Amino acid sequence: MTTSPQSETLSAETTYRRVMLKISGEALMGDQGFGLNPPTVERIAQEVKSVHDLGVEICMVIGGGNIFRGLQGSAQGMERTTADYMGMLATVMNALAMQSALEALNIHTRVISAITMNEVAEPYIRRRAVRHLEKKRVCIFAAGTGNPYFTTDTAATLRANEMKCEAIFKGTKVDGVYDKDPARHDDAKRYDVVSYDDVLAKRLGVMDASAIALARDNNLPIIVFSLDEPGGFRGILAGRGTYTKVQG
């Protein structure tokens, strides 16, 4: 007898039942300076699959900076609202690429866009998205919040709260939050745990201020880890590996 997706049990390897994975668009570039690197997208999809195999329900938000960044377009003279909408479209392209990579691994996904584009993505309806998660589908939220002036960090925190995720996992190129840029300072020190208020006061650059404040107000922990570490995502869900936890 086959089991339904709803009957899948959570592995004893993790206590997390539903999480948000936030990654930047730049994470999909690999060693390129622009665009998508298919082997890199496939590698990240494998990381997501390894966690999905534990029975964890997964939401994702991917930035668009590898294709177009609204703030940079605005700085170069483009009208800010137009530039931000272009950045939102870039996130949809990245979401579709990740969907393709995940479904090649037999992981059912839904791309859910804050901007209506029915031919390529579902519109965002909270109850429908929750149902997808209950059916063990990976939900990739695209187009940010659907509003200019808000980053994909804020979108990830908003959707994580709406989906009642237990934590946000922020995949970066470094293995946590440091008191200064570890690429420039050999004496940079990594935090094991840091408070929301310290992140804001010390401008540690985990996420933008709106995202941190929204996480703080809803007591939603943010776990910062290296996406370049093979097996890192799954390991950290099991309490292993190196990371920084942002909490109250």
Question: Is residue 196 within 8 Å of residue 207, measured between CB atoms?
Answer: no
d(CA 74, CA 68): 11
pLDDT at 183: 83
Q: Residue 168 carries which DSSP code?
A: E
Domains of the chain (ranges, CATH numbers): 5-247 (3.40.1160.10)
pLDDT in tens, 102-138: 999 999 999 999 999 999 999 999 999 999 999 999 9
Residue 151 has pLDDT above 80, yes or no: yes
What is the average per-residue pLDDT within 37-61? 96
Mean pLDDT of the residues in the chain: 91
Instruction: Give pTM, 2 decimals.
Output: 0.91
Q: Which residue has the higher pLDDT, 69 or 200?
A: 200
Residue whose tokens read 């300072």: 185
In sequence order, what are the beta bridge partners of 18? 57
Residue 5 has pLDDT above 50, yes or no: no
What is the dihedral angle through the alpha carbons of 86, 107, 53, 21, rounded to the nearest 10 degrees? 10
Q: Which two tokens stand for residue 198?
A: 């310290």
